[in-house]
Amino acid sequence: MEQHKEYSAADLPAELVNELQSFEQKLSGQSNKNLVVIAYEKDSENTGR
């Protein structure tokens, strides 16, 4: 099976990671579920840029 790797984990500064974790906690609390927020970025070789 062929895999398409169009996205990679986003390399974010600690401040943004903290913001995402806070957002994740807020969503988890509001939904009463253990949610995980994942940040990916589109690989530049696959964007046509």
Predicted confidence at residue 5, as pLDDT, reads: 73
- Dist CA 21 CA 38 (whole Å): 10
pTM for this entry: 0.69
- The H-assigned helical ranges of the chain are 14-31
| Per-residue model confidence as pLDDT tens for the chain (49 residues) | 456 578 999 999 999 999 999 999 999 999 999 999 999 999 876 555 4
pLDDT at site 49: 46
